[in-house]
Amino acid sequence: MIEREIRCASALTPGGWISPARIRIDQDGLISAVSQLRGAGMTGNLAGPVLPGMPNLHSHAFQRQMAGLTEDGAGQADNFWTWREAMYRQAQHVTPMQLQSLAGWLQAEMLEAGFTSCAEFHYLHHQPGGKPYDNLVEMSASLLNACARSGISMTLLPVLYCRSGFSSGTVSERQRRFFNTPDRYLELLAACHSLIAPNALHRLGIAPHSLRAVAAGQMREVLSAAESKGLPVHIHIAEQAAEVEQCLEELGARPLDWLLQNFPVDARWCLVHATHLDSAELEQAAASGAVAGLCPTTEADLGDGFFDAAAWMAAGGQFGVGSDSNLRVSACEELRLLEFGCRLRAQKRNILADEGKSCGRSLYERAAAGGAMALGQNIGRIAPGCRADLVELDLNHPLLGSRSGDAIVDTWLFAGGNAMVRTVWVGGVRCVAGGRHVRRDELLESFRRTMKELS
């Protein structure tokens, strides 16, 4: 890959909009310079505005197959826990090749939606029944093979899952595909590191599933590996009110309060969901530097509750967004739902806007920065030294043609959708052109075959 440049009508940089802009990309896919384009015509260059790609900080790729299949519950009796049983049933049947097909198409959807990297919270490790594959990283390799086809960047988060609940000594029958002892998990982690090391697009992290699924001693054993290697740490925390009550009963503290008291939570940590926090937990967690991993669509779908994003931002907290169960795959929809939820609670508008910026730009820049932190990757900004993960919006769209500056981001987030995404690069390599993934037909056909098999 030789050094080259992208010229565009405008680019959103940490210092504001540059118009027209020149983005230089080095042979490693990193941005080497960003400047205003002077004295040169725009012929043959990008007509649309360019934004930094959005990191997706929480995804379960295999759950894309479930989209639309869990809406037949019995009213008040249907909740997160009944949805989880349906998910367990689906999880029993996915083979390594099927996971590769599901993930490959999902990643193409992510790229077409403006997500240029994803954190895959991966716990489908073993064969149905729990017997390990001969290759311990068989399923992890399937996810990385999917990345090779789609071009997306991944932070792979192998999940540690040791028990079915706070008072249980092991997992249930339907969770055996997830189960590892700490020793075997560390073997898995080392093998995943060997898979990832040759590819600069990818990063390894560590993921104790939750306090209910991993005991304190088990977590300390595996986190020592993360601390020595500087790995990002992701954990489900306080997602459900019932989980908070169980934690109070078993550990004598609320989940996040207990975590903060017992582990050195800092900017390497992503607190996934963190929905049910009291004011003291919120203040302490925000001060720790940890990123709140918010998945508004999934949290709404499962009836989890709504994160107090306004209070979190007021406390100086960082956040990013993820597609989680992948019911919907859209960067703009996740941010829209986050802001609209805040508006419904406050009965006011533009709740999460920073002074001097529009609401859409504020949301986008904050989520990109928080997502980059959570993935442990130098992304989320159009600036020298950052990877050239870029999204061009389509000025031919009827709503965007006459817009400029912050109004472009506002229009995409609050009035638009994935159809406004025109071109996407990851590490300077174009993955989406004309709104379509460059390998769309191939990945879609593979996905369709797999869906037919799983049905």
One of 257, 301, 308, 324 is an active-site residue; which one?
A: 324
Task: Map the chain to HEC letters.
Answer: CCCEEEEEEEEEECCEEECCEEEEECCCCEEEEEEECCCCCCCCCEEEEEEECEEEEEECHHHHHHCCCCCCCCHHHCCHHHHHHHHHHHHCCCCHHHHHHHHHHHHHHHHHCCEEEEEEEECCCCCCCCCCCCCCCHHHHHHHHHHHHHCCEEEEEEEECCCCCCCCCCCCHHHCCCCCCHHHHHHHHHHHHHHHCCCCCCEECEEECCCCCCCHHHHHHHHHHHHHHCCCEEEEECCCHHHHHHHHHHHCCCHHHHHHHHCCCCCCEEEEECCCCCHHHHHHHHHHCCEEEECHHHHHHCCCCCCCHHHHHHCCCEEEECCECCCCCCHHHHHHHHHHHHHHHHCCCCCCCCCCCCHHHHHHHHHHHHHHHHHCCCCCCCCCCCECCEEEECCCCCCCCCCCCHHHHHHHHHHCCHHHEEEEEECCEEEEECCEECCHHHHHHHHHHHHHHHC
Cα–Cα distance for residue pair 236/206, rounded to 1 Å: 12
Cα–Cα distance for residue pair 406/437, rounded to 1 Å: 26
One of 60, 234, 273, 437 is an active-site residue; which one?
A: 273
Tokens of 2: 């030789």
The yes-or-no answer on residue 93 being catalytic is no
The yes-or-no answer on residue 324 being catalytic is yes
Cα–Cα distance for residue pair 162/213, rounded to 1 Å: 6
Structure-token match 């169980």, residue found: 246
Q: Which sequence positions are flagged as catalytic?
A: 273, 324
